[in-house]
Amino acid sequence: MVLSWVCALVLTCSAFARAQPQMLFVTQDNCKLISGYGKNDIAGVSKEFDVPISKIRYLRAEWGRGQEGAAQCNLVFATPKGDKSCKVFNIMKEDFVFALAVPIPGNHAICN
């Protein structure tokens, strides 16, 4: 009896749990869907270029080139040092599609 009550409670609670974002492959088509950035991205760009977070603004996502010349999806940020293109590591879909240029908090963004 207790076990069935616990199972019912767990099932009910899990129904209210927030769904995890869906990961999308980093492709040119998925890059076009991006409308936002991850919560650590502005801090990563700030750290990469040593500029204040308040002076950085997200502009867009675009398919472009990386430092090695290979095609990749980039997030473009306006900074006091000019517009900077930063490599997208993950594309996530939740209520909207967003990208992560800094998937681990405290890291630098890889930009050119």
Residue given tokens 């750290």 in the structure block: 47
pLDDT at res. 2: 46
- Flag whether 73 is in a domain: yes
Q: Is residue 93 part of a domain?
A: yes
Is residue 52 one of the residues assigned to a domain? yes
Classify residue 7: in a domain, yes or no: no
Residue 80 covered by a domain: yes
30 part of a folded domain? yes
50 CB-near residues (< 8 Å, 6+ apart): none
pLDDT tens for residues 42-98? Answer: 999 999 999 999 999 999 999 999 988 999 999 999 999 999 999 999 999 999 999
Instruction: Give the residues across from 57 on adjacent strands.
Output: 78
Instruction: Give dist(CA 75, CA 38) in Å, integer.
Output: 10
Give how many domains the chain has, as a whole number: 1
Q: Which range of residues forms the domain containing residue 85?
A: 21-100
Q: Is residue 31 part of a domain?
A: yes
Residue 27 placed within a domain: yes
pLDDT for 5: 42
* pLDDT bucket at 17, cuts 50 / 70 / 90: low
Instruction: Quote the CA–CA distance of 33 and 73 in Å, as a whole number.
Output: 11
